[in-house]
């Protein structure tokens, strides 16, 4: 309906921008109550060992069942939560949920229980009480620290206020595994990485596009090859994210990638879906 003349077009842009601002404001204003009313929930996406596709872990991914807007993904609210600081209680809530679920899997399946990986934002890791909060949450869940992994992007590590290295060292000393998330998308400082107490790298899904059959981009494939080689040198486990096709999975296995995550294996879903994967006959 908008006329093609400049004036009306701008009016439409303005209105859209305004609507976006209102939506952002209403989302962040709603968040504290949403947390209290448990409108958030956690889905789990399987991580499989590439050689035999055994389920070895899951990543906890937060979602928001908004009463008006319906289901929202983290990309629609995590950034806002970081701006307002609500990421701190929200992140704690996710960690508590994930640890509770990890404990149920551990009690029910023992050795077959998946490791549970949880995302952290810079703001959370920079909280002075962060390390003791993690210890308290593990303790309350009666869960060994070895059963969880915390994922941080390189950017988040660099942006952590205080002493990120100390925070990571304390967590690692407790027995918590640390993984660098979205590796290859940030400013990868190899010298720094060498001194971080990390156990694994999660290779960003954006590398997967160039890793397929006829459309394969030789540079992408070699980049992944090189990163896997580098991880080897550093003694790190490599997980490929965003694996959608058999061709990618085959290539990753050839290259020597250890673990994969993606729609080829399973979408994120409720814990019951993970139960079914654990109990399915071989
Ligand atoms: P991430 O940690 O890199 O998580 C992987 C994302 O890739 C997830 O998106 C997952 O659903 C998606 N994904 C998995 N397999 C595939 C695939 O085969 N193809 C494609 N195209 N995508 C795939 P999601 O759930 O939308 O989460 C987005 C980001 O939000 C996460 O990226 C993470 O950075 C952040 N996030 C999620 N939960 C939390 C949380 O509890 N706390 C914090 N701080 N951040 C979170
Ligand atoms: Mg992640
Ligand atoms: Mg990632
Ligand atoms: Mg990400």
Q: What is the pLDDT of residues 233-277, one digit of tens each?
A: 889 999 999 999 999 999 999 999 999 999 999 999 999 999 999
Residue 232 dihedral angles phi and psi, to the nearest 5° = -55, -50
The reported pLDDT for the residue numbered 1 is 44
d(CA 282, CA 280): 6
> Which tokens in the block code for residue 117?
């990986």
- Whether 184 lines ligand 1, by a CB cut-off of 6 Å, is no
> Which tokens in the block code for residue 122?
């810079």
Strands 148-153 and 40-49: unpaired
DSSP secondary structure letter of residue 147: G
Say how many Å lie between the CA of residue 117 and the centre of ligand 2.
8
- Whether 91 lines ligand 1, by a CB cut-off of 6 Å, is yes
Q: The pTM is what? A: 0.93
- Whether 206 lines ligand 1, by a CB cut-off of 6 Å, is no
Reference 157, options 138, 137, 179; nearest CA is 179
149 beta partners:
117, 177
Say how many Å lie between the CA of residue 1 and the centre of ligand 2.
42
Angle between helices 130-141 and 164-174 (to 10 degrees): 20
Q: What is the dihedral of CA 123, 124, 126, 128, to 10 degrees?
A: 140
Mutate which of 41, 44, 59, 61 to test ligand 1's pocket (most atoms within 8 Å of Cβ)?
A: 61
Q: Is 38 left (phi over 0), alpha (psi -120 to 50) or beta?
A: left
On the CB side of 197, CA atoms within 13 Å amount to 16
The reported pLDDT for the residue numbered 215 is 67
- Whether 62 lines ligand 1, by a CB cut-off of 6 Å, is yes
Residue nearest to atom 22 of ligand 1 (CA): 242
- Whether 268 lines ligand 1, by a CB cut-off of 6 Å, is yes
Integer CA distances (angstroms), 134 to 101, 114, 125, 140, 149, in order = 15, 19, 10, 10, 11
Sites in the chain below the pLDDT cut of 50? 1-3
DSSP secondary structure letter of residue 232: H
Tell me how far the alpha carbon of residue 77 is from its chain's centroid: 14
The reported pLDDT for the residue numbered 9 is 65
The reported pLDDT for the residue numbered 13 is 67
Say how many Å lie between the CA of residue 142 and the centre of ligand 4.
29
Q: How many CB atoms lie within 10 A of CB 62?
A: 22
On whether ipTM exceeds 0.90, the answer is: yes
């Amino acid at each position: 309906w908008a006329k093609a003349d400049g004036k009306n077009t701008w009016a439409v842009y303005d209105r859209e921008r305004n609507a976006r601002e209102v939506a952002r404001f209403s989302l962040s204003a709603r968040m504290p109550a949403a947390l209290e009313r448990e409108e958030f929930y956690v889905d789990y996406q399987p991580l499989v060992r590439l050689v035999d596709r055994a389920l070895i872990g899951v990543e906890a991914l937060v979602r928001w069942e908004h009463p008006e807007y319906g289901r929202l993904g983290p990309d629609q609210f995590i950034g806002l939560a970081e701006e307002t600081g609500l990421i701190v209680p929200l992140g704690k809530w996710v960690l508590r949920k994930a640890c509770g679920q990890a404990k149920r899997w551990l009690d029910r399946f023992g050795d077959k229980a998946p490791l549970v990986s949880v995302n952290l934002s810079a703001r959370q890791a920079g909280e002075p009480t962060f390390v003791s909060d993690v210890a308290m949450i593990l303790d309350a869940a009666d869960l060994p620290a070895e059963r969880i992994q915390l994922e941080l992007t390189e950017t988040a590590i660099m942006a952590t206020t205080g002493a990120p290295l100390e925070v990571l060292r304390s967590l690692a000393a407790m027995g918590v595994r640390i993984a660098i998330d979205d590796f290859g998308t940030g400013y990868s400082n190899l010298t720094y990485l060498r001194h971080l107490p990390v156990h694994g790298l999660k290779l960003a899904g954006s590398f997967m596009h160039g890793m397929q059959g006829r459309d394969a981009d030789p540079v992408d494939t070699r980049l992944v090859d090189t990163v896997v080689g580098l991880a080897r040198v550093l003694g790190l486990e490599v997980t490929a994210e965003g694996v959608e096709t058999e061709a990618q999975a085959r290539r990753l296995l050839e290259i020597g990638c250890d673990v994969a995550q993606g729609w080829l294996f399973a979408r994120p879903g409720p814990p019951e879906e993970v139960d079914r994967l654990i109990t399915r006959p071989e």
